[in-house]
Amino acid sequence: MLSIDSGNGLVREARQIVSPNYDDRPPGCDPNLIVIHGISLPPGEFGGPWIDQFFTNGLESDAHPYFRDIAGMRVSAHLLIRRDGELVQYVSLSKRAWHAGDSCYEGRDSCNDFSVGIELEGTDDAAYMDEQYERLASVIIALRRTFPSLENAAIVGHCDIAEGRKTDPGPSFDWQRLHALLKDSG
């Protein structure tokens, strides 16, 4: 069972890599949405230091042709779940990570203000790993147990809050499987 320090917003079991790409949530704005993303760098490749470097502004633009277009972007996520289930935290859960971009959920713009962003190392068209689903379920359970505002929070894909702009986590993500894992645990 994962444990989250509600005081500092850190997941004790996560490898901590501090991203500079965050700021404070608006006053009185507690997170009440969980956003699932998919990421691979370079696209379609897994492993390596690239995601960590991207979220900490250290991505070398000449390390891969794709990186030339994204190296200057300033983005982050609260958490990343690697293919083997490893959990990495970049931003405190009490802060606003820069993961959603131009976004809207149920008429509310700027989803970064009120969401927790969880990246899964993967692509829209490759199956996610068993370890990732298990870790994701354990993260969501810990979030709901630790933060009252997330107890009944919706869980959506990046594609659901940035329609037409984003497609992740993609059709390869098994929503029914995630919901079954969450139901079985609670």
Residues with active-site annotation? 119
Instruction: Indicate the DSSP class of residue 112.
Output: G
Decide: 38 and 120 in contact? Cβ < 8 Å.
Answer: yes
Q: Is 170 helix (H, G, I), strand (E, B) or coil?
A: coil
Decide: 2 and 13 in contact? Cβ < 8 Å.
Answer: yes
Q: Could you write out the DSSP letters of every residue in 15-48? A: EE---S-EEEPPTT----EEEEEEE-SSTT---S
Q: Is 114 helix (H, G, I), strand (E, B) or coil?
A: helix
Give the C-alpha separation, 113 to 127, whole Å: 30
Distances (CA, A) of 108 to 26, 77, 102, 173: 14, 20, 11, 25
